[in-house]
Amino acid sequence: MKILVVTEQREGKWNKVSFETLAAAQQIAQQAKGSLSGVVIGKGVAALADELAATQLEDVLLVEHDLLERYTPDGFSIALKQAISGTKPDLVLLPHTYQVRDFAPKLAASLGKGMIGDCIGYRYENGKLVFVRQMFQGRTAADVVFVGEPPWVATFQAGAFRADLVVQRQGGKAPVKPVPVELKPEQIRAKPLELFREAKQAVDLTQAPILVSIGRGIKAPENIPMAEKLAKLLGGELAASRPICDEGWLPMERQIGSSGQTVAPKLYLALGISGAIQHVVGMKGSRTIVAINKDQNAPIFEVADYGIVGDLFEIVPAVVEELEKWKAS
């Protein structure tokens, strides 16, 4: 059995899941008494191919082209199809990454084949390779086999195999063979733009020592800056009860309660929060709770250490003024 394992890299750095798939490929090659080749695809990635060549495999195919510098589904599937046609493997294995999900089905279809994706394992029984994949959110697993002629394409789920079980090569590195790729710009229909990274969560409320939390009593989003100002002056963070986040006045990551975060800061200031049990369970561990609410029967007063029955629109500006004076002195 001839096996090809396609690795993944971005900007010269490995996607480490590639090595989990390599470990799986090595195990299959050993059991099926087959040969294994690695594939590195991109541009200017000879160094990575060299690194891969130190692991136990026959050779490393270096699939390079200017148009492969940035990932595109067309570029990668056309180039890999050429590599596959040239080397005629029986089995092509890839790690089930986001990127692979994007082009592997296309690649398989271009070969006129199906693909078994996101496998959690395999068995090699009586000369037949059986892939295992999950169904019903992991409640059962299905055995899937290929029918028909190779090449067969399959991907393995991240975490299904252990990268540290990759076997290193004995007796020198494997040869690295450049694979000629024919690609024309008009074949590539997607234009990759700037890479972006998801904005990191701006705040971790569980780490804030002081929280100023607003509830329905704040009445309108225009009044939120006042509370934010108070939070800044106190050296704390702004938080909210569910209705505020439901309205979209603050993002969900600021929500405290049973369907939000649970916090226990040194000081929790509850402004215009009624104290419904769903909110209280998220903050009752706070060291000191101060509540301001117009309604003297609001349940928040049962958990508050200090409470003011009053109008937060009078009280908060007054507190802010005192704090500013104190800071200035």
The residue ranges that bind another protein (CB under 8 A) are 135-137, 139-140, 246, 252, 258-259, 276-278, 281, 297, 299, 302
> In the complex with another protein, which residue's Cβ is closer, 69 or 118?
118
C-beta of 158 vs 183, nearer to another protein: 158
**What is the C-alpha separation between 294 and 216, in angstroms, rounded?**
11
Nearer CB in complex with another protein: 3/250 = 250
Q: Where are the beta strands (DSSP E) in the chain?
A: 2-6, 9-10, 13-14, 35-42, 59-64, 91-95, 115-125, 128-135, 140-144, 152-156, 176-179, 210-214, 237-240, 267-271, 288-293, 306-309
Could you tell me if residue 287 is left (phi over 0), alpha (psi between -120 and 50 degrees) or otherwise beta?
alpha
Q: Is the dihedral of CA 229, 234, 239, 243 positive or negative?
A: negative
Cβ at position 281, least distance to another protein in Å: 8
Question: Contact 69/44 with Cβ under 8 angstroms?
Answer: yes
Decide: helix, strand or coil at residue 319: helix
Nearer to another protein, 51 or 118 (CB): 118
CB of 293 to another protein, least distance (A): 14
Residue 214 and residue 6: Cα distance in Å, rounded? 52
CB of 215 to another protein, least distance (A): 13
In the bound complex, what is the minimum distance in angstroms from residue 258's beta carbon to another protein?
Answer: 7
Q: What DSSP assignment string belongs to 110-167?
A: HTT--EEEEEEEEEEETTEEEEEEEETTTTEEEEE---SSSPEEEEE-TTSS-GGGPP
- Please give the Cα distance from 316 to 296 (Å, whole number): 18
Question: Shortest approach of another protein to residue 45 CB, angstroms?
Answer: 28
Minimum distance from residue 329 beta carbon to another protein (Å): 43
Q: Taking every pair of C-alpha atoms in the chain, what is the biggest distance, in angstroms?
A: 85
If 0-12 CB within 10 Å is exposed, 13-18 middle and 19+ buried, where does residue 196 land? exposed
Smallest separation (angstroms) from another protein to the CB of 276: 5
For residue 232, give the 3-state DSSP assignment: helix
Of 44, 43, 42, 40, the C-alpha closest to 18 is 40
Q: How far is the CB of 114 from another protein (least distance, A)?
A: 13
Residue (139 or 184) nearer to another protein, CB = 139
Query: Of 196 and 326, which has the nearer Cβ to another protein?
Result: 196
- Pick between residue 136 and residue 326 the one whose CB is nearest to another protein: 136
Q: Residue 137 or residue 207: which is nearer to another protein going by CB?
A: 137
